[in-house]
A and B are shown apart, each in its own frame.
Chain A
């Protein structure tokens, strides 16, 4: 576990005996883990194993049937104020401009006009969307839309960032650029991040810890620390011998977890 800095702005997350059913289908079964404040954790599992359901439960978008989820010690009961979600399909509102989309969370939380404008400008700059403030989502590329999705989540200055396969629907080249940008943003202010993915490579490049999940009913079968020094960049991480070792290790675990079809990234 990478120790977070003293002045970390991240939230802690605890799952205890989390169980979730969809009708008669057991999706999550006794999920237990603790995430330290300021850690970057990936949840890695085969498609359809229930990792998105786990994230939705942490984000308060769906209830759980047994156990509890605590964020900063408080049980999750509806979307917690400390958390913000980056969605797989971006989830931008098509009738709002990019800047209004980024301002969305702030508008909802009643942040004043002046502060809102300042923060939006800051995050637009941070995710390199300058010049596209007045564009509508349909006018820009998928990568840009997800930058706005990320900026929108960051703008509410959450202590916990929940990312649901955020780069799964952008092209490979853009994905690599976005990985590096996410790394540099995160390495600066160390919010707690829970990153859902089915890509082993992505999990290794980004995370402090990888939680490997089994096929459904899903549970965390292993917690793999990624001891690669930061600051990281995707290309340099991929060149390290540890990278391939970790990759093999994750594959073994996924296969033993009954995940023969887990997608290679």
Chain B
């Protein structure tokens, strides 16, 4: 932070000592935090291990068995293959949603005619549980990679579309006026004011889109061709390999945590000003 001017009257040594003290307090806090976290994890795993071993293995599996399955699936390369199949189709679908959704939303926000023409449909489709449309999409696009990408695309598109639209629409009028007063053309106003002001909304939309695209990915893999993590869940479940079923579930969970964390970090990075109110 650059605010505040150094006061030469303050003793440098004193300030240094203070800083060191603060650092120690912070470190101690972090140690406590991680001890609690690891402790709670150990307790959770302990209970799981105890309970998982005491019931019918068709219904549940203890962590040790799941780890064992992990090793097998990593060893024969099937986990890596499934992960890559899933991630690839996920990235294609999400990427297409970004490439189509953001510009489309900007046009939508800019032209009143487009707004009148499409707003109703977009809102209706956003409200529709898209799972209901999956059989239809399969009918149209088959069972291949294409169909999966299109399912993921349709899941991810609407939050991006709606958030970008709202971001562009909620640009502060005063700032648009500032741009006008300095002689900004329409294009310059978009470049310097409206799009930057929509950026935090777009990042929030991306965060939502990632979550929905993951759901779309699993659903697509349940319903279409035999590949990916979703299929692995399905097959393990159908063949009562319960311990094995947990492997892709845990991988998808980790993928979700990772991607959502990444988009949240992205939001903070691209729009530090919008985080101001959130910070304490």
- Nearest B-chain residue to A91, judged by Cβ: B178
CA distance A81 to B273 in the complex (A): 31
A105 interfacial contact with B, CB 8 Å? yes
Given A89-B174, A95-B196, A95-B199, the answer on whether A137 and B181 have CB atoms closer than 8 Å is no
B276 proximity list for chain A (CB < 8 A): 138
CA distance A146 to B272 in the complex (A): 21
Are A108 and B184 in contact, CB atoms less than 8 angstroms apart?
yes
A93 proximity list for chain B (CB < 8 A): 175, 178, 192-193, 196
Are A61 and B192 in contact, CB atoms less than 8 angstroms apart?
no
B193 proximity list for chain A (CB < 8 A): 93
B177 interfacial contact with A, CB 8 Å? yes
CA distance A81 to B181 in the complex (A): 9
CA distance A108 to B182 in the complex (A): 7
Are B175 and A139 in contact, CB atoms less than 8 angstroms apart?
no
Given A93-B175, A93-B193, A95-B199, the answer on whether A138 and B273 have CB atoms closer than 8 Å is yes
B31 proximity list for chain A (CB < 8 A): none
Residue-wise, chain A 126-158 has the 8 Å CB interface mask toward B (1 for contact) of 000001101111111100000000000000100
Interface centre among B177, B178, B273 (most CB of A within 10 A): B178
B154 interfacial contact with A, CB 8 Å? no
Given A81-B183, A95-B196, the answer on whether A140 and B3 have CB atoms closer than 8 Å is yes
B236 proximity list for chain A (CB < 8 A): none
Task: Quote the shortest CB–CB distance from B6 to chain A (angstroms).
Answer: 11
- Nearest A-chain residue to B274, judged by Cβ: A94
A87 proximity list for chain B (CB < 8 A): 174, 177-178
| Interface size range of chain A in the complex | 20 to 34
Are B180 and A61 in contact, CB atoms less than 8 angstroms apart?
yes
Interface SS, A side: loop
From B177, B188, B196, B273, A137 is in contact (CB under 8 Å) with B273
Q: What total of chain B residues lie within 8 Å of the partner, measured CB to CB?
A: 25
B199 proximity list for chain A (CB < 8 A): 95
Are B180 and A139 in contact, CB atoms less than 8 angstroms apart?
no
From B2, B181, B274, A139 is in contact (CB under 8 Å) with B2
Task: Quote the shortest CB–CB distance from A171 to chain B (angstroms).
Answer: 16
A46 interfacial contact with B, CB 8 Å? no
Chain B, 175-227, CB within 8 A of any chain A CB: 175, 177-184, 188, 192-193, 196-197, 199
B49 interfacial contact with A, CB 8 Å? no
CA distance A141 to B2 in the complex (A): 12
Task: Quote the shortest CB–CB distance from A225 to chain B (angstroms).
Answer: 29
From B2, B5, B175, A135 is in contact (CB under 8 Å) with B2
B241 interfacial contact with A, CB 8 Å? no
Are A108 and B188 in contact, CB atoms less than 8 angstroms apart?
yes
A59 interfacial contact with B, CB 8 Å? yes
B271 interfacial contact with A, CB 8 Å? yes
- Nearest A-chain residue to B276, judged by Cβ: A138
Are A104 and B273 in contact, CB atoms less than 8 angstroms apart?
no
CA distance A169 to B273 in the complex (A): 20
Are A91 and B174 in contact, CB atoms less than 8 angstroms apart?
yes
Residue-wise, chain A 86-130 has the 8 Å CB interface mask toward B (1 for contact) of 010101011100000000110111000000000000000000000
B174 proximity list for chain A (CB < 8 A): 87, 89, 91
Show 21 A/B contacts (Cβ-Cβ < 8 Å), sorted by A.
A61-B180, A79-B180, A79-B181, A79-B183, A81-B183, A84-B182, A85-B181, A87-B174, A89-B174, A91-B174, A95-B197, A95-B199, A95-B273, A104-B192, A108-B188, A131-B2, A134-B2, A136-B273, A137-B273, A138-B273, A138-B276
Interface of A toward B, CB cutoff 8 Å:
59-61, 79, 81, 83-85, 87, 89, 91, 93-95, 104-105, 107-109, 131-132, 134-141, 156
